[in-house]
Amino acid sequence: MTSALLLIDLQNDFCPGGALAVTEGDQTIAVANQAIAACSNAGWHIVASQDWHPENHRSFAVNSGQQAWTLGELEGLPQVWWPAHCIEQQSGADFHPELNKAAITFVVHKGQNADIDSYSAFFDNGKLAATGLDEWLHQQQITHLVVMGLATDYCVKFSVLDALSLGYQVTLIAEGCRAVNLAASDGEQAILDMQQAGAQIQTLQTWLSTLA
Ligand code: VGL
Ligand code: ZN
């Protein structure tokens, strides 16, 4: 079994002070850096996704004439209207400054098509287009993913569910994740959904001890 670490959207806009700030989003960075150190040691690939939108993305409330943080529909799919965030090439889309970026061996961008949102690191929300992540993981013969990042109830959840349906074994490090929590229990529910679908939920320490 070949494993990789998959870090979801550890970007400035999802951290306190960012455009779509997730409560304690920045507290995932120290967890990610510990995981990165251990995985580098073990010779694993370290893969990171970046939410990467054009300025005219229609998931942005302002571009669709909607109120931010409310629910609507975009091209027939349910859509939360988000504040403008993670605009390609801008600092909000950068990885958090404390993340050990040098150790990342593959970066995948998602959300470039203005007409459809893309929570998963594998496919857009309508599964119309693939990002190339699955293909790349196949080329490396990676069959197991250890996942953490932002946000638990959106990009982490949909990445994990897609990974499981694509046949990967998935371990989720819950303390390396934080949720948007539009409803207070969304993060908790997302973890249950991932577990139900077959993800193994582990603490950082327990997982690190399996590596040693
Ligand atoms: C995300 C909302 C909009 C995420 C991305 O990374 O979870 N959430 N775009
Ligand atoms: Zn986004």
Domain range annotation of the chain? 3-53+93-211
| Protein residues within 5 Å, CB atom, of ion ligand 2 | 51
Confidence of residue 1 (pLDDT cuts 50, 70, 90): confident
For residue range 73-127, list pLDDT tens digits in order. 999 999 999 999 999 999 999 999 999 999 999 999 999 999 999 999 999 999 9
Cα(86) to ligand 1 centroid in Å equals 9
Which residues sit opposite 50 in a β-bridge?
A: 109
CA 64 – CA 199 distance, rounded (Å): 35
Residue minimizing CA distance to atom 4 of ligand 1: 155
CATH fold of 3-53+93-211, please?
Rossmann fold (3.40.50)
Which residues sit opposite 95 in a β-bridge?
A: 11
- Is the peptide bond prior to 151 cis by the omega test (within 30 degrees of 0)? yes
For residue range 44-85, list pLDDT tens digits in order. 999 999 999 999 999 999 999 999 999 999 999 999 999 999
Q: Of 136, 84, 134, 146, whose CA–CA distance to 111 is shortest?
A: 84
199 DSSP 8-state letter: P
Question: Which two structure tokens, joined as six digits, stand for 107?
Answer: 């970066």
Q: What is the pTM of this model?
A: 0.98
Q: Please return the burial class of 93, using the count of CB atoms within 10 Å of its CB with bins 0-12, 13-18 and 19+.
A: buried
CA 105 – CA 165 distance, rounded (Å): 24
Catalytic residue flag (residue 177) = no
For residue range 152-184, list pLDDT tens digits in order. 999 999 999 999 999 999 999 999 999 999 999
Catalytic residue flag (residue 155) = yes
Q: Which of 113, 120, 150, 159 to mutate to test the pocket of ligand 1 (most atoms within 8 A of CB)?
A: 150
Atom in ligand 1 nearest the alpha carbon of residue 111: 9
